[in-house]
Structure 1
Amino acid sequence: MKKLIDSLRQRLSDKANRDNAEQMSRYLKNHFIFFGIKTPERREISKLFFQETGILKEPYNEEFVLALWEQPEREFQLLGLDYIAKFQKKLAKHHIAHIEKLITTKSWWDTVDMLAQHPAGTIIAKHPELIEELVDKWAVSEDMWLRRTAIIHQLRYKENTNEDRLYKYIKLNADSKEFFIQKGIGWALREYSKTNPYSVKQFIESNSLAPLSVREGSKYIPKE
């Protein structure tokens, strides 16, 4: 594993850009340090790394992803998301514990939102028993990022969205003062309004939501 991480570190270091790194760190409120590699170039590095190491031909490697999460530079976690995306359709029910660990480690919107709507959302859709087993607990967790994940994990479900579940989780968090919860509620409503604008309009009008959630959730609802 160390050999893989060292190889990747060298590849990323070779493309480091100090000016970009400072800007990218500021964008994430200085929570993380960066090499300063923008997304298109990072994905090219990912692609070559995956090809040359053959790691995508092997089973999904939780140890590799966790090792990426341990590295200080944010590009390692973002490259981890690139890796997870390659296996998304192959992830099994038991991988949800692994995804939960990633959500709650080095948490910020740039990793959590991708994990929530892609691997987590995909696994939960295939294994709906996880709703009672796990996701209901996320919706009331002390961890803000798990609550946000519960609220937004259906973002890509469209007409398959479980409306009752969506509204239940929003109601459980409607009085939250956390920006990322209010924003997540608005995002989830906005996305679902593309499928069922009347329902979202009725929900917003019938419930007490933060102004930010209302503003975000109403963006695509036709004005009467």
Structure 2
Amino acid sequence: MTETATAEQVRAALAEHADPADAVHLQRFFKTGPGQYGEGDVFIGVRVPATRAVAKRFAALPLTEIGALLDSPVHEERLAALVILNNRFAKASKPRTFDEAARAEMVRFYLDAVRRGRVNNWDLVDVSAERIVGPWLLDKPRDLLFELAGSESLWERRVALLSTFAFIKAGDASTTFAVGERLLADRHDLIQKALGWMLREVGKRVDRELLTDFLDRHAARMGRTALSYATEHLDPESRARYRAMR
């Protein structure tokens, strides 16, 4: 597709893959009922592979049109918007097509969407934070992550944690630890799971001893879910020892 592509064209392409039966399942899975974290989110029943295929067709969609999709009440349209944004950011980050100004613009655009509540479910955060905010900050101060970690918004806090995945993949555990320490007392299930997941990835991808050092210092303050996720790949004796510290 060319730069003349529109959000309406993306909507129409997604609608071709909609399945009402899947929509009902997704509404339940993503907790869209009253008082749940995804309250009010609307699904049309498009599966993720189909959403990604549509996003690939509209790789050159302008930011204004991506913004129109992010403002949609339909979850799959927001997901498609983020996948397109991911792909654009990745292209602007490659040596042959590197464009720092474009990268900066996309980060500002993304953070605005996050703060306006348009990146508002765990899958939307997880598909985008480590691919946009994380890579952007690899050679920059981490203050933004600490700001997000201190937010009242569940989704901003999860963005802070998931963004550190980019650092983990680059061999750096310190950023995950610094953000994680700020969220040790956060007992929301989606933060607990994200914290434990990122800590587990430190042990898996960077250094298991760094993980156990962190747990030695902080396991007593961690929630049960975060600790369970973080210790998943440790031996049974170690897992039991850390559980006993709580």
> What TM-score bracket applies, with the shorter chain setting the length?
0.7 to 0.9
- Closer/same/farther in 2, CA of residues 92 and 11 from structure 1, 3 Å limit: closer
Q: Distance in 2 between matches of 1:16 and 1:67?
A: 19
Unaligned runs of 5+ in 2: 33-37, 93-101, 238-246
Q: Give the TM-score of the pair, scaled to structure 1.
A: 0.84
Aligned-residue offset at 1:3 = 7.4
Q: Distance in 2 between matches of 1:198 and 1:20?
A: 43
Query: In structure 1, what is the equivalent of residue 140 of structure 2?
Result: 128
Cα deviation, 1:148-194, whole Å, max 9, x if unaligned, reads: 22222121333634433322221211111211111111011011111
Query: In structure 2, what is the equivalent of residue 82 of structure 1?
Result: 83
Greater shift, 95-104 or 205-214, is seen at 95-104
Q: Distance in 1 between matches of 2:62 and 2:162?
A: 26
Query: In structure 2, what is the equivalent of residue 193 of structure 1?
Result: 203
Aligned-residue offset at 1:70 = 1.2
Match status 1:38 vs 2:83: no
Counterpart amino acid of 1:211? R
Q: How does 1:145-224 map to 2 (within 5 A)?
A: 145-158=155-168, 160-194=170-204, 195-207=206-218, 208-223=221-236
Contact conserved, 1:25 with 1:33, CA < 8 A, in 2?
Answer: yes
Query: In structure 1, what is the equivalent of residue 98 of structure 2?
Result: none
Contact conserved, 1:201 with 1:221, CA < 8 A, in 2?
Answer: no
Q: Distance in 2 between matches of 1:200 and 1:5?
A: 44
Q: How does 1:34-73 map to 2 (within 5 A)?
A: 34-48=43-57, 50=58, 56=60, 61-73=62-74
Q: Give the match's secondary structure for 1:154.
A: helix
- Closer/same/farther in 2, CA of residues 162 and 2 from structure 1, 3 Å limit: same
Q: Distance in 2 between matches of 1:187 and 1:142?
A: 21
Q: Distance in 1 between matches of 2:188 and 2:28?
A: 20
Q: Distance in 1 between matches of 2:160 and 2:49?
A: 29
Q: Give the match's secondary structure for 2:18.
A: coil
Unaligned runs of 5+ in 1: none
Q: Would you say how many aligned residue pairs link Structure 1 and Structure 2? A: 213
Query: In structure 1, what is the equivalent of residue 104 of structure 2?
Result: 93
Greater shift, 18-27 or 94-103, is seen at 94-103
Aligned-residue offset at 1:12 = 2.4
Contact conserved, 2:22 with 2:46, CA < 8 A, in 1?
Answer: yes
Q: Distance in 1 between matches of 2:50 and 2:217?
A: 46
Q: Distance in 2 between matches of 1:71 and 1:189?
A: 34
Contact conserved, 2:146 with 2:160, CA < 8 A, in 1?
Answer: yes
Q: Distance in 1 between matches of 2:165 and 2:5?
A: 37
Q: Give the TM-score of the pair, scaled to structure 2.
A: 0.77
